[in-house]
Amino acid sequence: MNLQKQFVQSVRLYFKERGEEWLQSLPNLIQYCEEKWSIQMREPFSLSVNYVAPATMLDGKEVVVKICIPENGFLDELEALQLFQKKMVKLIDYDKENGIIILETLSPGYTLAEIADDEEACQIAANVIKELVVPVPIKTRIPTLKAREEELKKIVEKHSNGIGPISGHTLQKALKMFTYMNQTIRQQLLLHGDFHHYNVLASGEGEWKAIDPKGLIGEIEYDLIQYMLNKLPEKRVYEVTERRVEIFTNELNLDKERILLWGYCHTVLATAWTVDGESYNKGFFQMINVFEKLYATIFDTMSN
Ligand SMILES: Nc1ncnc2c1ncn2[C@@H]1O[C@H](COP(=O)(O)OP(=O)(O)OP(=O)(O)O)[C@@H](O)[C@H]1O
Ligand SMILES: [Mg+2]
């Protein structure tokens, strides 16, 4: 089977041996899907660590098949999709054991990254996230922001002198801030958990829908940060971020201070995740400074 090179590499990097086994089993899983749902699967989309492909049902209806390694991440995503039903892409069917979900096809299906005007894209993103309001279920497997804090704590313990381009001092500071932020959350909500341009798709005339929820429980301000790490311009990153923060704060009636503080914490964690030997995500890394500077400019000045 001819698989995308980058996809194979990423699966091996993230899932190690389990990933290798899963890659080997993909032809069988595809055949299983085709038989179980009487569908014909076509060439996959551009892939990261899941196998996602368009398919046609017997009656000609188009669907999207997503095949994942049936571990925690998949189970969280499935539960988040179920909880968000009616508010995002429709879940048609699933097979928990084999890590498969069948989704409605969003058409035309291009992503929010196609919108050239950054302010327009940000307004659309704000409108999409505005819809994603669901109370937190009493019993759920979806992790809270405390789990993200724990992830950062593990990184700090393992890399006390810093990781990649991030200094030990910055790691410590971000962890302290993460703890403070978690202790002072006012309203816990079900979050998308991976909200960004490439997970918002055009669906019909002027309509947009979110896909691919990772599922997370916490404060809405946190959910906006991953968006702000994506599709950054070459220049004027500070100004563009300032404007994005402004739009989200106003459109969603949020706490600007907490957006910037979560911005700092999450960006340190998100950058640390990308460190692989000498390489890391430079776009994410520069944003640590941007959030810090924005906070200092707006809030430290006010307290003087
Ligand atoms: N319901 C859908 N309708 C149309 N296209 C879709 C749909 N779901 C997914 N896609 C396409 O497949 C791509 C990958 O899907 P998805 O984001 O769910 O996978 P993923 O592996 O979790 O992605 P990543 O980890 O990169 O965020 C999307 O960017 C989109 O182009
Ligand atoms: Mg995605």
DSSP 140: -
CA 51 to CA 89: how far, in whole Å?
17
- SS3 state at 146: helix
pLDDT tens string, the chain, 304 residues long: the values are 899 999 999 999 889 999 999 999 999 999 999 999 999 999 999 999 999 999 999 999 999 999 999 999 999 999 999 999 989 999 999 999 999 999 999 999 999 999 999 999 999 999 999 999 898 999 999 999 999 999 999 999 999 999 999 999 999 999 999 999 999 999 999 999 999 999 999 998 889 999 999 999 999 999 999 999 999 999 999 999 999 999 999 999 999 999 999 999 999 999 999 998 999 999 999 999 999 999 999 998 665 5
Q: Which atom of ligand 1 is nearest to the CA of 66?
A: 18
Ligand 1 mean position, distance from CA 278 (Å)? 29
The finding on whether 286 has its CB within 6 A of some atom of ligand 1 is no
Residues with CB under 5 A from ligand 2 (ion): 199, 212
Q: Which atom of ligand 1 is nearest to the CA of 45?
A: 12
Hey, CA dihedral for 106, 109, 111, 116, is it positive or negative? Answer: negative
Q: Which atom of ligand 1 is nearest to the CA of 194?
A: 27
E strand or H helix at 11: helix 5-36
The finding on whether 106 has its CB within 6 A of some atom of ligand 1 is yes
Q: Which atom of ligand 1 is nearest to the CA of 46?
A: 13
**Region for 74 from its dihedrals, namely left if φ exceeds 0, alpha if ψ lies in -120 to 50, beta otherwise:** alpha
Ligand 1 mean position, distance from CA 168 (Å)? 35
- SS3 state at 234: coil
189 HSE (CA, 13 A, CB side): 17
What's the pTM value of the predicted model, to 2 decimals? 0.95
The finding on whether 98 has its CB within 6 A of some atom of ligand 1 is no
